[in-house]
Amino acid sequence: MQIFGLLGNPIGHSLSPVMHQAAYSHLLMDAKYIAMEPEVSDLEEIITEAPQNGISGLNVTIPFKQDVLPHVQPNKLAKRIGAVNTIDFSGKKPIGYNTDVAGARRSFEHHDVSLSGKNSVVLGAGGAGRALAFMLSDEGSDVSIVNRTESKARSLSESVPNSTGYGLSSLPELLPEADIIVNTTSVGMKTDISLIPETFLHSDLVVMDAVYRPLQTRLLREAKDSGALTIDGAWMLLYQGVEAFEIWTGKKAPVSVMNKAVRSQL
């Protein structure tokens, strides 16, 4: 039996186990997906001993996407972004990937959203924020990275072409020029609040929220009410998982099955 899994803390909200297990069942694979909630001090041991414990691949979520970097060999993209969310153990060394980039890109593609020449505002400078900022920049967007700690946003912007870092206080001047808004923070997950004042939302916007529980955050509800095109977080979860599945197994992922499994839980 192949074993795959997830590293995160906390992970009680995660739907990755449901999504991946549905794919294994559909393809009649002898595989299982487990969830692990370690401390940061446990990461090196878990990753080092994964192959001998029968683990073929691991996903990595909050707050470990940067913490695992010293313990894997990141591929070119993951190294550039500075965050890993997928580890493959099929080679001599554990290889780190960042499938959040593909997950985000495919989410926009699924909704027929062109990114070139757009002004994008990314909320958050953590693992997902880094992936979104690089992806949007690579696709031709000008990117404003906004973070509670402004220095973290500015530090990230130094690595992302065509980007600038700001603190939250700059939102009122940035939002009127925005074409795309992406929330990569956890705001809206546990409390019904939004970082974006409703008065700045309008029908020409595209608004994406990486939070998927709840599926319709306050940000997305208010954006939809304004006529904006909205993209919920389950799309990014789905497509980053599809990419990880195909890296690990070499098989074509059953996308519709995985999507149905995720949305049946939301």
What are the catalytic residues? 65
Cis preceding linkage at 63, omega within 30: yes
The alpha carbon torsion through 82, 87, 89, 94 (nearest 10 deg) reads 20
Angstrom CA distances, 138 to 146, 183, 186, 195, 248, stand at 18, 18, 24, 25, 25
CA distance linking residue 116 with residue 83, whole number of Å: 24
For helices 16-26 and 233-249, the axis angle rounded to 10 degrees is: 50
Burial letters 153-183, b for 16+ CB under 10 A, else e: bbebbeebeebbbbeeebbeebbeebbbbbb
